Structure 1
Amino acid sequence: MDFPHHQKLISLLAAMVSIDDFNKDIIVQNFEPVSYPKRTLLVKEHSIARYMYFINSGYLRTYYFKDGLEVTDQINCPLGFMTAFGSYTSGNPSHEYLECITDCHLLRIRKEKLESLFRHNPQWAKADRIINEHIVLYNARRTQDLVSKTAEERYLQLLKCHPDYIHNVPLQYIASFIGVKPESLSRIRKNVASLAI
């Protein structure tokens, strides 16, 4: 069987756990394909995040405001799952926004459905543990990098791990994501470019 909208998610989960036809059908039945144009807000501040999204293509970010300035907190989380995690996990109103940076093709599933799969299906429970481990490790590493690495080191690491960001994500979002002002990122980029000559 061919599941064009769901193949990327099926392949990802199959790399973690055994996915049979029954579980493929679960994915197709429960994950709804949706598409949004760039700048669409999937979660707004003070609203509740009710969906988990899987990114088939495109770029998402979460951001919040601090002292009147936008702070980009996340860009395309690990393994392609994305939501306003604080609100999604707690059920409380979000303090951040979830925005499509580009046109996005996603799969979405309501929190209640996904939690039911995790509770009642052993393969999904195992996948949940693996996905959460990736997210926890990613966030811990990101927090550590913001403290221990220089801005240039953080930029170089971004280039190494996510070179596609540079061509698809506005530089002001990248600057905020690595914890610098846009003008500082411009200087870093010039310095890196001069070293590469």
Structure 2
Amino acid sequence: MLIKDYIQKLTPISDKDWEIFSAKLEKQIFKKNSLIIRSGEVENYLSFIETGIVRFWIDGKDNEITFDFAFKENFFSAYLSFLTREPTNWNIQALTPTVLWRISYADLQIIYKQTQTGEKIGRLAAENLFITAAQRKIALLTNTAEELYLMLFKEHLHIIQHIPLKYLASYIGVTPQALSRIRKRIS
């Protein structure tokens, strides 16, 4: 199971703790372009992507603004909402057919109490979410649109072809036409 392999890379987990943890996991399958969570809802899950790509976006004045993607073998969540138990102001969408392993907020609290490694796994997953968000913020502040595109291309070459250009353009802060010029220039 991919999620078990991922967790074991973070920290060793005993068979007993894995049994408790895995019993709380819910497998969910989302069709291409379906919403995983909508703006205005409270995030109830921390999710691990077994397969697929998800997109994070907010409604802008005239269009949707894509601000992040998550890929296979990563955790994701509308994490602020997950922690505060207040409605999120963004949407998360499955860009491709997506298989998730999810754990609810309530079940995660039980795991923290009943296992020896649960809190460590939770802390490490939270740290990874923070690192990803901080790196994205720094990249947006210090790189050109072309550099952002090249970084995404380099890190996710095998996946980027599945993301519509309008979402990639929004993600790096340019119009689809400007992204086409960037792609033409670097090819």
Q: TM-score, normalised by structure 1?
A: 0.88
In structure 2, the CA distance between the partners of 1:36 and 1:106, relative to structure 1 (3 Å rule), is same
- Please list every run of 5 or more consecutive structure 2 residues that lacks an aligned counterpart in the other structure: none
**Quick check: 1:184 aligned with 2:167?**
no
SS in 1 for 2:117: helix
Identity rate, percent:
28
**SS of 1:164's equivalent?**
helix
For 2:55, which of 61, 64, 80 is the aligned residue? 61
User: Offset of 1:173 from its aligned partner?
Assistant: 1.0
2:49 and 2:71 in contact (8 A); partners too: no
Name the structure 2 match of 1:3: none
1:14 aligns with 2:8: yes
Aligned length: 187
1:121-157 CA-to-partner distances (Å, cap 9, x unmatched) read 2312112222222221221111111111111111111
> Cα distance, 1:27 vs. partner?
3.2
Most deviating of 116-125 and 24-33: 116-125
C-alpha distance after superposition, 1:135-190 (max 9, x if no partner): 21221111111111111111111111111332211111111112221111111100
Q: CA deviation at 1:18?
A: 1.3
Q: Which runs of 4+ in 1 moved over 2 A?
A: 118-122
Question: Does residue 141 of structure 2 align to residue 166 of structure 1?
Answer: no
Distance 1:83 1:77 in 2: 12
Give the TM-score of the pair, scaled to structure 2: 0.93
Correspondence 1:151 to 2:159 = no
- Distance (whole Å) between structure 1 residues aligned to residue 158 and residue 121 of structure 2: 27
Quick one: distance in 2 between partners of 1:74 and 1:28? 28
Give the secondary structure class of the aligned counterpart of 1:52: strand
The residue aligned with 1:84 is 78
Q: What letter corresponds to residue 146 of structure 2 in structure 1? A: E
Query: Per the alignment, do residues 79 and 132 of structure 1 end up closer, same or farther by CA in structure 2, a change over 3 Å counting?
Result: farther
| TM-fit CA distance, 1:15 | 1.0
CA distance in 2, matches of 1:13, 1:152: 34
**Unaligned ranges ≥5, structure 1:** 1-6
Cα distance between partner residues in 1 of 2:65 and 2:137: 14
CA contact (8 A) 1:17 1:127 kept: yes
Tell me how far apart the structure 1 counterparts of residues 116 and 174 of structure 2 sit (CA, whole Å).
43
Indicate the residue corresponding to 2:35 in structure 1. Answer: 41
Aligned mates of 2:50, 2:71 — CA distance in 1: 13
RMSD: 1.6
Q: Which residue of 2 aligns with 1:109?
A: 103
Q: Partner residue of 1:139? A: 133
Q: How far, CA to CA, are the matches of 2:166 and 2:182 in structure 1?
A: 13
2:22 to 28, 32, 37: 28
